[in-house]
């Protein structure tokens, strides 16, 4: 199942073209991944190749030069990139958050997207948008003075803009939550992304020196977010802009877990290649691949990856089906599907671990892509929206008929 069926339910041939272009980048992504870890960002060669493949436009509407692809296409493209480098796939995943900008006033959209044809990399990134801890905004004539520090601005070293979360009080003293859009020259990237995996994602913190002025049209109150998202669906075309709120949550989760699927496929590919070329350390077989224990691990790992893939693609297809039918998902459905997807990550992670341990000490060299997949999938699985135990608790309460927990995006508290 690692080879995609040509009868894939992609609603647009453009999705297949970009997926194939992404898969063709796998050798380049693997070659550059170590350097990306060392510099804490994607290399210029990687970024340029991804730009030329069109992967940063897959979630943009046609009206702004994008493809507005559906969930199935998005999953397949993200997974293809992750076969080469999880950090590259992560950068595309988080770049999808630019959709939030489309709900801002038209002036903001025009300012941000005037560089859509020439900018190499994600146009905008988000940092601490839905976090419990955000920056501050102070209303002034014509806009706000914004200050603060924001965590996990994935892709920030490559972006022209950043969307950050802020809190402010109105004239009556009532508290509000909002999103503010900062130009690149308005924020400083902190040197704080020193981690065990996904090092090349440039998920650094952001801060501003003192206060910076943000005009009113670049600030959106969270209370207005649902209405603004409805306007986005009315304004833009493409299957990617026909999803309801529940479906949008699932598209985000699907894009996230597709990275684990791609890394598991990449691990299996590297494992098979290396096992056929290496000799066992202490057993009388011609190659590691000739060892029965290796064959058992390979067969079991492929089954685990195939099972995860079947779950992920099944739910991606259902998201697209409902988008075309104009139907959304209930909160209960979103909760159950999200847990299915989180479990698929567990299957992929366990498959990667099994293959690395079977291959042995040769798989710990920093030049070996397998060790990077091991570390990257471990960090991926700690992401708040797909952590196993919290999501299992949320889903389990539903199974047992208990009062559901009020959550947003599979793991973050409601805001606004």
Domain boundaries, the chain: 13-101, 124-220, 242-413
Q: CA dist 73 to 92, 254, 292, Å?
A: 13, 11, 37
Is residue 74 classed exposed, middle or buried when 0-12, 13-18 and 19+ CB atoms within 10 A define those classes? buried
Q: Is 126 helix (H, G, I), strand (E, B) or coil?
A: strand
Q: Mean pLDDT, to the nearest integer, of 269-293?
A: 96
Q: Where are the beta strands (DSSP E) in 157-228?
A: 161-169, 175-183, 188-189, 206-207, 212-215, 219-221
pLDDT of 50 above 80: yes
pLDDT at 6: 36
Within 8 A by CB and 6+ apart from 407, the residues are 394, 413, 414
The tens digit of pLDDT for each residue in 176-222 reads: 999 999 999 999 999 999 999 999 999 999 999 999 999 999 999 99
Where helices occur in 142-244 by DSSP H, the ranges are 225-235
User: Are the C-beta atoms of 33 and 85 separated by less than 8 Å?
Assistant: yes
The tens digit of pLDDT for each residue in 242-280 reads: 999 899 999 999 999 999 999 999 999 999 999 999 999
Q: CA dist 199 to 8, 106, 140, 195, 379, Å?
A: 33, 35, 39, 6, 10
d(CA 13, CA 17) in angstroms, rounded, equals 6
For the chain, give the percent of residues with pLDDT over 90: 88
Is residue 292 classed exposed, middle or buried when 0-12, 13-18 and 19+ CB atoms within 10 A define those classes? exposed
Token digits of residue 177: 């939550």
Q: Mean pLDDT, to the nearest integer, of 151-173?
A: 96
pLDDT at 235: 92
CATH code: domain 13-101 is 1.10.540.10
pLDDT at 416: 44
pLDDT of 409 above 60: no
Total residue count of the chain as it appears in this document: 416
Helix (H) and strand (E) counts in the chain: 12, 12
**Average model confidence (pLDDT) across the chain:** 93
User: Are the C-beta atoms of 80 and 262 separated by less than 8 Å?
Assistant: yes
Terminal CA-to-CA distance of the chain, rounded, Å? 42
CATH code: domain 242-413 is 1.20.140.10
Q: Domain 124-220: give its CATH architecture.
A: Beta Barrel (2.40)
- Band the pLDDT of 408: cuts 50, 70, 90: low
pLDDT at 2: 40
Residue among 255, 343, 256, 280 nearest 70 (CA): 255
Pairing of strands 124-127, 161-169: parallel
pLDDT at 131: 87
Token digits of residue 333: 């459905």
d(CA 56, CA 91) in angstroms, rounded, equals 9
pLDDT of 8 above 90: no
Block residue for tokens 């894939």: 8
């Amino acid at each position: 199942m690692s080879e995609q069926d040509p009868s894939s339910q992609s609603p647009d041939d453009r999705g297949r073209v970009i997926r194939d272009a992404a898969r063709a980048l796998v050798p380049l992504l693997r070659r550059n991944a170590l350097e990306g870890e060392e510099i804490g960002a994607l290399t210029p060669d990687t970024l340029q190749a991804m730009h030329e493949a069109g992967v940063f436009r897959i979630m943009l509407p046609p009206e702004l030069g994008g493809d507005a692809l559906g969930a199935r296409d998005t999953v397949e493209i993200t997974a293809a990139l992750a076969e080469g480098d999880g950090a590259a796939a992560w950068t595309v995943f988080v770049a999808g958050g630019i959709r939030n900008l489309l709900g801002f006033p038209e002036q903001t959209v025009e300012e941000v997207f005037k560089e859509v044809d020439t900018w190499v990399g994600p146009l905008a990134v988000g940092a601490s948008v839905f976090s419990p801890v955000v920056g501050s905004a102070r209303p002034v004539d014509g806009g706000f003075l914004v200050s603060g520090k924001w965590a996990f601005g994935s892709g920030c070293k490559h972006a022209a803009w950043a969307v950050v979360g802020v809190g402010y009080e109105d004239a009556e003293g009532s508290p509000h939550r909002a999103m503010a859009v900062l130009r690149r020259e308005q924020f400083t990237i902190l040197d704080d992304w020193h981690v065990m995996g996904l090092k090349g994602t440039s998920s650094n913190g952001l801060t501003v020196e003192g206060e910076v002025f943000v005009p009113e049209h670049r600030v959106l109150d969270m209370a207005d977010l649902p209405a603004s998202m409805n306007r986005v669906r009315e304004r833009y075309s493409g299957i990617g802009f026909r999803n309801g709120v529940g479906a949008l949550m699932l598209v985000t989760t699907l894009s996230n877990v597709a990275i684990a699927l791609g890394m598991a496929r990449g691990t299996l590919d590297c494992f098979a290649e290396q096992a056929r070329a290496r000799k066992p350390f202490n057993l009388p077989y011609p190659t590691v691949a000739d060892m029965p224990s290796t064959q058992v691990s390979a067969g079991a790992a492929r089954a685990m990856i195939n099972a995860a893939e079947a779950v992920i693609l099944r739910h991606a297809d259902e998201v697209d089906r409902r988008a075309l039918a104009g139907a959304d998902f209930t909160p209960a459905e979103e909760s159950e599907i999200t847990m299915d997807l989180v479990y698929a990550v567990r299957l992929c992670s366990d498959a990667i671990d099994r293959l690395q341990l079977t291959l042995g000490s040769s798989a710990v060299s920093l030049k070996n892509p397998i060790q990077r997949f091991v570390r990257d999938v471990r960090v991926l699985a700690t992401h708040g929206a797909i952590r196993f135990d919290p999501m299992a608790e949320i889903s389990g309460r539903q199974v047992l008929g208990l009062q559901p927990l009020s959550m947003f995006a599979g793991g973050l508290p409601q805001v606004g």
